[in-house]
Structure formats: structure tokens, C-alpha cells
Structure 1
């Protein structure tokens, strides 16, 4: 009986702690959504309210008026889709080589790719910036997409998935005359679909949240992405945030909505892929 009581007590404590941590993490998101629905006068109250007195849905329309929101959204979408296509294809071919290929120095090269995970963008952006300038790619989608076309983490993730697949099926396909293109796109990709979907989601989230790279690679307002546009909106009203804070929050809510939707729909694939991505 004492053991059962202790087990129940531990379960209750864990539940309470889990609920407390969840509330702590979700409260900033809640506050952002609530603030986006408040009026300007309510935002300037000395004592903040936890729930809006009235739902000011016009704040979302105002965000489109204050900044070219549709343009920023479109730029972000183009950059994200371009990165998904490029990174996914590079990762598929590289992962196939490291998982199923046979060549000298394969493991050493793979370790060098993993080492790239610890190199921050701030270390490499100067030579890449000079390269983009020499190619006249600055302030274009080429500069936003091409330099980030290879993902060390994506190669690692798919390589682990491909290594777990049976080679007998691939050998049978080779006997039937299948080339590398067919092996990768018609066999390996469908067999590792959960991992591929996970990688697509992670690339989308990373590119949608990207701030540093678009900041240094774009100059004109026409090429800005959402993160830069919202940051510029905030900086443009520095010292008078109370006047437009509800507009900034409305723009931020619309910016994170695609991430929340995509992650919520695909989170089970992410958990399954991560569980199968141990180093082998």
C-alpha cells in the first residue's frame, strides 16, 4: 500500500511539474496572441489585462497596411520552398553515397560533414558574402537559397535512415537495371518517407525563422522576409512601442502560424525519425 501511495504521489508531482513547465513555455505565445487582439488604449493601460476587453481583429488588417506584409510573406515562402527542394535533393544524394556507397575515406568525409554542424554562420558569412557579391547575387533569392543548399544535419539524418534499410532490395533493383536516380527517388525515398517528411519540416521551420542570413544578404524592402520586416517595424517605432505594439504582435502571430500548423501535423514523424537516428 505504501508503495502504491508513493507511486501515485510521484505521478501527481510529475504531472504538476509537467503542467507548470508547459504553461511556462506556452505563456509567451498566449501573451502574443492576446496582445494582438487588444486595442491601442488597452495596450497602454498601467496594469496589463490577461484577456482583451474586446477583440480588435482589425489589428491583423492594419499589419498589412503598416508594412508590405504580403510581399514579405511571399519572399519567405519562396525562400523556404527553394531551400527545401535544394537541401532535400543534396541530402538524398549525399546520404545515399555515405550509407550505400563504397569508396576510400567514406567515414572520414562523413565525420568532416558532421564537424560542419558546430561551425556557426557568423564564421563563414564574410567569404560567402564576397562570393555572392562577385556573382552579383546579393539582394536576390539566389543569395538566400544557394549558400544554404547543403545541410550537414539533413545528410546525417537521411544517412542513418538509409543505413537501416535492407540492401537486398537495392541489389535486386540493380539487377533489374535500376540506376542511381531510380534507386534514390523510387526506392530509398519512399522507404524512408517518415525521415524525409521530418527533414522537410525541419528545413521549413529553420528557413521560416531565419533572420541573420536574410539580413546580410538583402538590402531592398522588396527582398525582405518576415523576420526582417517585423524587426524593422519594431525598430522604426523605437521609443513609442506602446502605440503600435498590438500591430507588431498581430504580425508576429501571422508569422508563426504556418510553423505551428506544419509542426502540429507532422510532429509524430519528427519523434519517430529522431528515435531512429542514433549514430551507427
Structure 2
């Protein structure tokens, strides 16, 4: 009887494992299908895009769609603007987060934990709530249609401060005391000691900031109205809106533009994914 029970349990475990695998495959297919459709649409011709019955593989690979994207919009200009905005945001936000996280993790001052909780409270405030006062501020500074308006408002991130604080708290204070005895100042300790030791978290934050900046649409849309300052997300949306009612003629070009826009994100995330996993494993609240 015991053997029958064990055999039944083994069958149940096998059945549950099979169901989990099937469920995982279904979820993966559902999530990946839009990306697949984006990729194959980028290579279809206009005539194939207008077919009543959609095809699930391009009949002819229309590589000219990618060149057409550079013709219909100043794609290179938008790409450069997006890259400059993303890099500038990374540099500013990481430096602000490093200094704030150092203060919250290793500093000793009254109200430190209360202030940190207030910083975390900023995580629940959506960007759309504060954009009006920030827009007015950018306007008074005469920063609209400049990279200052695209970068400076994102100079501080509560999430980046939280992750770096967790990484700094895991570092023994004896290491810092030894550095102080050797005559190291606060900035030397931060950038020459803590920075290398928290490298997985810093790389992770750099990747997440890059992805967020690269995909940003709302902020660049309201902060710029000059074509020379547009970024990729806004430029592709303007291309879509400019052909409203005739999408079938240029939908393949829109898809090709979108494919080129996501390539940097895929490359950066693929190269840095091991650092992201290591940082997330060390981000528990302490």
C-alpha cells in the first residue's frame, strides 16, 4: 500500500510539473507574440501589410524599410538626442544617488531614517502629478527645448537611492574606518572604496536608468516642441500620427523604426543581466 501511495504521489508531482511547464510556455508565447509581430512586420512589404489575411512570416524580406525610416523622419537626429538624454540622466542620477545613499547608509545624523522613509514615499508619486510645477520651473529657467529640461528633472531617483543604500549597508564599517585612518575623505571613500565594492548595484541602476530614459515618452513630449530636440519615442509617435488613416501604407516603416529603437535596450540588458540578478539578490530591506 505504501508503494502505491508513493507511486501515486510521483504521478501527481509529474502531472503538476507538466501543467507548470505548459502554463509557462503559454504565458511566454502570449508575452512574446507582440514582439514577434513587431519583428516580422518590420520586414514585410506594403502589399503584404495590406493583405486581408495576415501572414505569420514575411513572403519577402523588405530590408529597405529600415532605410525608409531614415528618409521619412530625421531618425539619426532623434537617435542622438535619445542617447544623449539617456547618458546624461545616468551620470547625474547615479552621482546624486551615490551621495544620498552614502549619507543614509553610513551617515549618523538626527532624523536619518525618517528622511529615508520620506524618500521612499516618493516612489508612490506618479510623474504626471508633478509635471505641471516642474514644467513651470523649466519654463522660468528658459530650459524648454533643451537637454537640461530632459535630464535635470530626473536627476534624483528614490529607487536608485534605495538600492545603493542597501548595497552600502552590507559593507562593513571597519573598512570605512580603516580608510579614514589612512586620511581618506568622504568623496575618496565614496568613489574609490564604496563605488567598486557596489559595482553590481551601480551597473544595474545604470541599465535601469538607461532603459527608463530610452523608453521615456511623456516627459520629452511636454518638454520639447522643436523637431531638433525630439527623441525616438516622440518621433515615431509623430510619424504614426502624421499618416493617420493610411497606416497600412507605412506601418512596416513604423515597425522598422521601432525595431531599431529597441536594439540598444536589448543589447545593454543582455550584456548586463548577470549584474542585475546579483544586485536584486542584495536589495532586501535592512
* Bucket of the pairwise TM-score, normalised by the shorter protein: over 0.9
Equivalent residue number for residue 259 of structure 2: 253
Equivalent residue number for residue 155 of structure 1: 161
Q: Deviations over 1:86-118 (max 9, x none)?
A: 000000000000000000000110011001111
Equivalent residue number for residue 80 of structure 1: 86
2:125 aligned to 119, 128, 131, which one? 119
| CA drift at 1:195 | 0.6
2:232 aligned to 226, 236, 240, which one? 226
Q: Which runs of 5+ in 2 are unaligned?
A: 1-6
| CA drift at 1:183 | 0.6
Equivalent residue number for residue 12 of structure 1: 18
| CA drift at 1:275 | 2.1
Give the Cα separation in 1 of the matches to 2:36 and 2:110: 54
Equivalent residue number for residue 170 of structure 2: 164
Q: Which stretch shifts more, 7-16 or 61-70?
A: 7-16
| CA drift at 1:278 | 1.4
Instruction: Please say if 1:55 is aligned against 2:61.
Output: yes
| CA drift at 1:268 | 2.2
Give the Cα separation in 1 of the matches to 2:188 and 2:21: 49
| CA drift at 1:223 | 0.1
Q: Deviations over 1:53-81 (max 9, x none)?
A: 01000100000000000000000000000
Give the number of equivalent residue pairs.
280
For residues 89-168 of structure 1, the aligned pairs below 5 Å read: 89-168=95-174
Instruction: Please say if 1:3 is aligned against 2:9.
Output: yes
Equivalent residue number for residue 182 of structure 1: 188
Give the Cα separation in 1 of the matches to 2:126 and 2:111: 25
Give the Cα separation in 2 of the matches to 1:18 and 1:258: 27
Instruction: Please say if 1:191 is aligned against 2:192.
Output: no
| CA drift at 1:199 | 0.3
* Over 4 Å off, 4+ runs: none
| CA drift at 1:272 | 2.1
Give the Cα separation in 2 of the matches to 1:153 and 1:4: 44
Give the Cα separation in 1 of the matches to 2:123 and 2:230: 27
Q: Which has the larger radius of gyration?
A: 2
Give the Cα separation in 1 of the matches to 2:204 and 2:100: 17
SS in 2 for 1:215: helix
